[in-house]
Amino acid sequence: MNLKISKVKQKLKNGEACFGTMLRILKSPQAVPMCASEGWDYVLLDTEHNDYDYETLGNFCALAKYEEMALFVRVPDKLYHQMAQMLDIGAEGLVLPQVKTREETERIIRSTKYAPLGKRGVSISSTVTLFRDYDIEIYTTWANEELMTVVQIESEEGMANLVDIVATPGVDAIMIGPADLSDDMGIPGQIHHPRMESAFREVIRQCDIYGVAPGIHLNNLDDVKKWRAEGMRFITYSYDTKFFKDASREALQSLRSFG
């Protein structure tokens, strides 16, 4: 069995769009093949705001190795042990919240890349290799090439330092966090505000210049249609609880209409 190649990275490098969704409360690893069966490019496990434990994360990551769909993890913070350990557990990429400066971005790359690109401590993951034996050089080269590094722009400071962040070697994609960015701008939740839309377009412009995939997390299909047309390519849509609530609401309205 070969080490898993990132189809998300391949598609983004080819200028294509990738669509994923976020998991917040689903704890059964069966969620991985369920999402893969519907054709998502990736799922994102959110450990920043939710209560996934390491055993659950490890089980999700192991099962994801048998699917083409990628499995990414959003870590709570940009701390070495949270980043490196999550990759050792088997995450195929990390989403890093609240990135504000080039210095933070460079520290992320040092923590997530092996030498010569970074300083990540070497430990061959049994989950990643599915207990197959690999030469260290083969494994570290694969990890540097295939694991995704996605940084989130969620503040005015991050926007002010956008060029420096996007230009940092090793960044694969940006994922705007509209809720936090609008809150930091003093216009909480107003993602259609002209200042927000201007920020979105600037992220797209700078990402295109530096060969980084521009992305965003959205919960409304009309918004996805608009920003996909304007150039967003790494798009995280909705999350598990919203899918369930929306489907339940629609079904219940239909059921009650029967009398």
At 93, phi and psi to the nearest 5? 170, 160
DSSP letter string over the chain? -PPPP-HHHHHHHTT--EEEEEESS--STTHHHHHHHTT-SEEEEE-SSS---HHHHHHHHHHHTTSSSEEEEE-SS--HHHHHHHHHHT-SEEEE-S--SHHHHHHHHHHHS-TTT--PPP---HHHHTT----HHHHHHHHHHHSEEEE---SHHHHHTHHHHHTSTT--EEEE-HHHHHHHTT-TT-TTSHHHHHHHHHHHHHHHHHT-EEEEEES-HHHHHHHHHTT--EEEEEEHHHHHHHHHHHHHHHHHHT-
Name all contacts of 225-233 with Cβ < 8 Å and 24+ positions apart.
227/200, 228/17, 230/200, 230/201, 230/204, 231/204, 232/17, 232/200, 232/204, 233/12, 233/15, 233/16, 233/17, 233/18, 233/173
For the record, the structure tokens of 127 come out as 């989950």
Active-site residues, by number, are 49
